[in-house]
Structure 1
Amino acid sequence: MTTRVARRWRPRSLLQLVLIAFLVVMLPLAVLMFQAAQALSELSRLADVSARQAVEETRRARTLGALALEMERSARQYAVLEQESLLEIYSERLAEYRELLGLQRELLPEDPDVAAQARQLDELAALPGLPLEALEEKLAEFPVFAQRTEAIRQATNRRIDTRIDAIRERAQGVQGRLWWQTGALVSASLVMMLLFSWLIIRPVHQLERRILRIGSGARDEPPRPVQGPAELVKLDERLDWLASRLAELEAEKQQFLRHMSHELKTPLASVREGSALLADGVVGELTPQQLEILELIDGSGRELQRLIEQLLDYNLLQQSRRVEVERLDVATLVREVLAKHRLALSNKGMRVECFDGPVTWVLDRTATGHILDNLVSNAIAYGADGGELEIRARQRRGSLELEVANSGEPIAEVDRPRLFEAFYQGRTRRKGPLKGSGIGLSVAADCARLQQGELALVEDPRLAVCFRLTLPRAALPSDDHNRTPAGMAGQDARS
């Protein structure tokens, strides 16, 4: 029910999610562009209106100055020439001046010079009807009239400058508002980008972790269902099917190994029992040639039994990943492994050098025994006849290092990267009638990883092949501390 409700508001496809993300991220940017366009349009309109008004008002102020000059010139010429046409020109210029002054008074309603100029203009309007002597006396007022006209022009310029400053302040305010909106909307776009990136990447990461879990074979907890676009949910369902299919194949493989090992061990036991009865002389004395053939049969049976046990060990490791650690003497464990191969070592003519004990360490006896058994078996199978086998032990930085080295043919470089793969057999062939299974080193490496350790092929200055097992210090379940075993530091003795 929860999944159904959750899916109602989620995009049903990855394409739909990407398109919605694009639209949501672009929406704040579109709003920003729209607001910026409106602000620029408003500022452009104000600038255009202000420029037109400034040009008109400046032209009007200059015209007032020119009209005042023409009025004074006409009046003075009339005082000299006494021509009526000059008075007509004076009256026309005065009327134009009065009209322009009225417009200028709307621009400067509180300017004292405008009011005084209007009063003086009324006085100068009566000039054409005055006698000549009175007219000449009135001519003395024209310099004051011209000064007020200049003052009106300067006041007009100041008014234009004030208006321009107001527009500039408004433009700065709009710019600041645009910057603030830009920061807010771009931040919102970034948040939306991060949100939708998380919505897309989260199911991808879930699928990646799911694939890694399938590849590693981890089954400790059930996987969480992927929540996201339909394509990724469907891919998660395909991964469920793949995981179940791989689990079925793994179970079938383990069952096949168990049945095959059991079916091989049963007739092998009969063969070895029969060869043992023949060797004991139950059916009569055997000739030397018959004894030699019987020894060959018995040796091949032992080799076949070892291969079957390796298959069983491999199958057991695939099923169980638990370790049971205990404190024991590693030197004793090594001697037990060497005792199992004493006859093979004697037939091979190999000289064995082993470190002295006791070397106490906490580890899994069975897993470590498997590792040493496989390494010694490989040294016998691939080492040189009459060669050397050395087993060393030392402690470094809280870990135990066991080295098994033997003389013989070095491992080819091309085989080293795949040396610990299951069922991989390199170019070097075993010495003897039977071919190896290719799982000995794989089992050994798995046993090392089971104990959080590592098995690696390392270079040795004297011997051709050297495997190093590194085991960290483990803790017993009942122990609250780990102490460094006495007599272990720097130990690398041979006997």
Structure 2
Amino acid sequence: LTTTELALRKPRSPEHYRELLGDVHASAQQMNQIVERLLTLARLDAGVDRLRIQSVDVAALAQQCADVVRPLAEARGLTLTVKNGSAAVNGAGGDGAGLVHTDPDKLREIVSNLLHNAIQYNRPGGAIDLRVARRDGTLEVEVQDTGIGIAAEARERIFERFYRADPSRGGDDLHAGLGLAIVKEYIDLMDGSIAVESTEGQGSTFRVRLPAG
């Protein structure tokens, strides 16, 4: 039986109705996100999704993305840290990201999807670091987590549509295996690159490099 069918079968207490409505709302949100991602991929396939370059405060954008997902991270017992500038990528001496000419909507989608992925495949008490820096005309974005890691044989496929490195967690995945596919296709559209380092049982690091303009 679906949640709505359960609610309609017999009278229930207001508290129980609220609980069932919460389940319906969560399911509707999940379906809406899946549909939005399918439409995004359809636009990319049709070649109608264009870059809209603007001057973007990347540090502020990164902080906004982190603030949106922070409640979800904290609900899972995770700490989320945002770093900008010289402490950013690999501890090397990059500059603060500052203003960069790029597509803010696509950059926001890239960062948000990587953060959601880091939350999804982390463990209670784990940590996530989001780092941004500008170096040699390149914007560098790094998301590092202390999660379950990715098996070597799965790393070649994680950017495929509908692929999940850990199918057992599929029920919690709001993106239906589409989030990283969109990340990769947006990065390709922006003439950038993405690399993944991961150790099973220790965590993963996703590094994105985009033209800074």
TM-score where L is the length of structure 2: 0.77
Say which SS state the counterpart of residue 414 (structure 1) adopts: helix
In 2, Cα distance between equivalents of 1:377 and 1:291: 27
From 107, 131, 138, the counterpart of 1:392 = 131
1:316 has 2:43 as partner:
yes
The one-letter code matched in structure 2 to 1:355 is K
Alpha-carbon offset, residue 396 of structure 1:
3.0
Say which SS state the counterpart of residue 373 (structure 1) adopts: helix
Over 3 Å counting, the alpha-carbon distance change for 1:459 and 1:313 in structure 2 is same
Query: Going by fraction, where is strand more abundant, 1 or 2?
Result: 2
Per the alignment, residue 31 of structure 2 pairs with: 304
**Cα deviation 1:28-86 (Å, max 9, x = unaligned):** xxxxxxxxxxxxxxxxxxxxxxxxxxxxxxxxxxxxxxxxxxxxxxxxxxxxxxxxxxx
Contact 1:300 1:434 in 2 (8 A): no
From 395, 410, 434, the counterpart of 2:149 = 410
Over 3 Å counting, the alpha-carbon distance change for 1:384 and 1:451 in structure 2 is same
Per the alignment, residue 331 of structure 1 pairs with: 59
Which 4+ residue blocks in structure 1 deviate beyond 6 angstroms?
A: none
Per the alignment, residue 113 of structure 1 pairs with: none
The one-letter code matched in structure 2 to 1:396 is R
Query: Going by fraction, where is helix more abundant, 1 or 2?
Result: 1
Over 3 Å counting, the alpha-carbon distance change for 1:433 and 1:417 in structure 2 is closer
Aligned residues: 191
Alpha-carbon offset, residue 295 of structure 1:
2.8
Equivalent residue runs for 1:226-305 within 5 Å: 286-287=14-15, 289-305=16-32
Over 3 Å counting, the alpha-carbon distance change for 1:380 and 1:458 in structure 2 is same
The one-letter code matched in structure 1 to 2:63 is R
From 204, 209, 212, the counterpart of 1:470 = 209
The one-letter code matched in structure 1 to 2:152 is E
Contact 1:327 1:363 in 2 (8 A): yes
Alpha-carbon offset, residue 335 of structure 1:
2.3
Structure 1 unmatched ranges of 5 or more: 1-270, 276-283, 475-495
Per the alignment, residue 423 of structure 1 pairs with: 162
**Cα deviation 1:425-466 (Å, max 9, x = unaligned):** 224543755575222111101111111101221358x96111
In 2, Cα distance between equivalents of 1:362 and 1:409: 35
Alpha-carbon offset, residue 384 of structure 1:
1.3
Over 3 Å counting, the alpha-carbon distance change for 1:303 and 1:379 in structure 2 is farther
In 1, Cα distance between equivalents of 2:166 and 2:137: 36
Q: Which has the larger radius of gyration?
A: 1
Contact 1:326 1:365 in 2 (8 A): yes
Structure 2 unmatched ranges of 5 or more: 85-95
Say which SS state the counterpart of residue 391 (structure 1) adopts: strand
Contact 1:384 1:407 in 2 (8 A): yes
Equivalent residue runs for 1:336-351 within 5 Å: 336-351=64-79
Say which SS state the counterpart of residue 177 (structure 2) adopts: coil
In 1, Cα distance between equivalents of 2:182 and 2:144: 18
The one-letter code matched in structure 1 to 2:69 is H
Q: Which is bigger in relative contact order (C-alpha 8 A, separation at least 6)?
A: 2
TM-score where L is the length of structure 1: 0.35
1:355 has 2:83 as partner:
yes
Over 3 Å counting, the alpha-carbon distance change for 1:407 and 1:290 in structure 2 is farther
Per the alignment, residue 369 of structure 1 pairs with: 108
In 2, Cα distance between equivalents of 1:332 and 1:446: 24
Contact 2:132 2:139 in 1 (8 A): yes
Alpha-carbon offset, residue 470 of structure 1:
0.3
Alpha-carbon offset, residue 290 of structure 1:
4.3
In 2, Cα distance between equivalents of 1:349 and 1:432: 19
Alpha-carbon offset, residue 329 of structure 1:
0.7
